[in-house]
């Protein structure tokens, strides 16, 4: 957080080893917002692989040094250092997104005050939302600092544990990376959360890695029991609903989306946008299967 070098746009989902398995003609498909006078429009759109899933979280030197063990060799789910770094990158991406959102909300709130819509010394929904996001930003940074930054600085992988689901015989269709909370806690307490990475690792294998502090593992497993306790296609379906409900940093294979029946993409877009506006998870629908 104290580095004075300029941040670069680095991949949160590894380009050479993961995106290369999804891309078609150097493009993947991702959630992309567009803004106009009619309002925001979010849809699944093509994006160049070099721009996909990037964020300005680290300078070039730190990004290279931190993630070299992850970026320079294939993912080995038995390698604790790689799994730790995979989770660290996911949390850093989410922290950056929250901090960016805080700045945007605060700018909008200040503009409302300037226009006389809100009064600076009085409570308002816009002001409350800005403060809520500031507190979430602080809590997320504190979580990363305690469970990832401090262990990394001491040369260890801390007390982070990983649950891994392997899908054999699964062609590359999507990749996702995020950090989510699994239960509400007071801001003064530590978040209970989990870093989730879903990655194709070969032409016929995809893995899902769930990383959390050991003390939160029971809470994570309980919150995500529908995923952990399912098997086969049902497990893929439950994981798909989790992705639609809680994760926006997702990349899809254009070739895979081309196999979807007419109307499926539109239904998925509507469900995803609905989770953003209502803060509610998606329900059951066979078309929500993303694999």
Q: What is the pLDDT of residue 65?
A: 93
Q: Give 203-242 pLDDT, tens digit per residue.
A: 999 999 999 999 999 999 999 999 999 999 999 999 999 9
DSSP E strand stretches across the chain: 7-11, 27-36, 39-48, 54-59, 160-168, 174-183, 192-202, 205-213, 250-252
Q: What is the pLDDT of residue 234?
A: 98
Q: What is the pLDDT of residue 2?
A: 82
In whole angstroms, give the CA distance from residue 33 to residue 101.
14
Calculate ∠ Cα 152-156-161, nearest 5°: 95
Mean pLDDT lowest among 53-67, 136-150, 181-195, 256-270: 181-195
**pTM (2 decimals)?**
0.91
HEC letters along 264-288: HHHHHHHHHHHHHHHCCCCCCCHHH
Is pLDDT at 184 greater than 90 in this prediction? no
Looking at per-residue pLDDT, the higher value among 131 and 53 belongs to 53
Give residue 113's pLDDT band: very low, low, confident or very high (50, 70, 90): confident
Give residue 284's pLDDT band: very low, low, confident or very high (50, 70, 90): very high
In whole angstroms, give the CA distance from residue 190 to residue 90.
18
Expressed as residue numbers, the domain containing 277 is 1-291
- Specify the number of domains making up the chain: 1
Of the candidates 181, 240, 245, the one whose C-alpha atom is nearest the C-alpha of residue 208 is: 240
- As given in the structure block, the two tokens for residue 228 are 């952990």
Is pLDDT at 277 greater than 80 in this prediction? no
Q: Using the structure block, give the residue that is written with the tokens 């990394």.
A: 152
Q: Which residues contact 86 (CB under 8 A, 6 or more apart)?
A: 70, 75, 177, 195, 197, 209, 211
In whole angstroms, give the CA distance from residue 47 to residue 281.
26
In whole angstroms, give the CA distance from residue 46 to residue 290.
17
Residue 4, number of CB atoms within 10 A of its CB: 5
Looking at per-residue pLDDT, the higher value among 25 and 103 belongs to 25
Q: What is the pLDDT of residue 188?
A: 66
Of the candidates 66, 65, 63, the one whose C-alpha atom is nearest the C-alpha of residue 54 is: 63
Give residue 244's pLDDT band: very low, low, confident or very high (50, 70, 90): very high
Classified as helix, coil or strand, 259 is coil
In whole angstroms, give the CA distance from residue 152 to residue 88.
10
In whole angstroms, give the CA distance from residue 163 to residue 165.
7
């Amino acid at each position: 957080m104290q580095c004075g070098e300029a941040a670069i746009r680095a991949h949160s989902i590894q380009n050479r080893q993961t995106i290369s398995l999804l891309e078609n003609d150097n493009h993947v498909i991702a959630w992309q917002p567009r803004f106009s006078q009619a309002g925001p429009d979010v849809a699944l759109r093509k994006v160049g692989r070099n721009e996909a899933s990037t964020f300005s979280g680290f300078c070039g030197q730190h990004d290279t040094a931190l993630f070299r063990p992850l970026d320079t060799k294939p993912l080995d789910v038995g390698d604790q250092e790689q799994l730790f770094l995979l989770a660290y990158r996911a949390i850093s991406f989410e922290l950056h997104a929250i901090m960016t959102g805080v700045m945007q909300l605060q700018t909008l709130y200040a503009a409302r005050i300037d226009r006389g819509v809100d009064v600076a010394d009085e409570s308002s929904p816009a002001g409350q939302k800005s403060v809520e996001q500031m507190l979430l930003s602080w809590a997320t940074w504190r979580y990363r600092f305690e469970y990832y930054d401090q262990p990394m600085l001491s040369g260890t992988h801390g007390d982070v544990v990983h649950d891994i689901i392997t899908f054999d015989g699964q062609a590359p269709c999507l990749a996702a990376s995020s950090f989510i909370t699994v239960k509400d806690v007071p801001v003064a307490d530590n978040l209970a959360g989990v870093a989730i990475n879903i990655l194709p690792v070969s032409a016929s294998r995809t893995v899902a890695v769930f990383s959390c502090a050991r003390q939160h593992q029971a809470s994570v497993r309980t919150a995500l029991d529908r995923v952990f306790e399912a098997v086969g296609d049902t497990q893929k379906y439950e994981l798909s609903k989790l992705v639609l409900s809680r994760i926006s940093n997702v990349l899809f294979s254009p070739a895979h989306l081309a196999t979807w029946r007419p109307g499926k993409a539109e239904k998925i877009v509507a469900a995803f946008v609905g989770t953003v506006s209502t803060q509610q998870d998606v329900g059951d629908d066979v078309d929500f299967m993303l694999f």
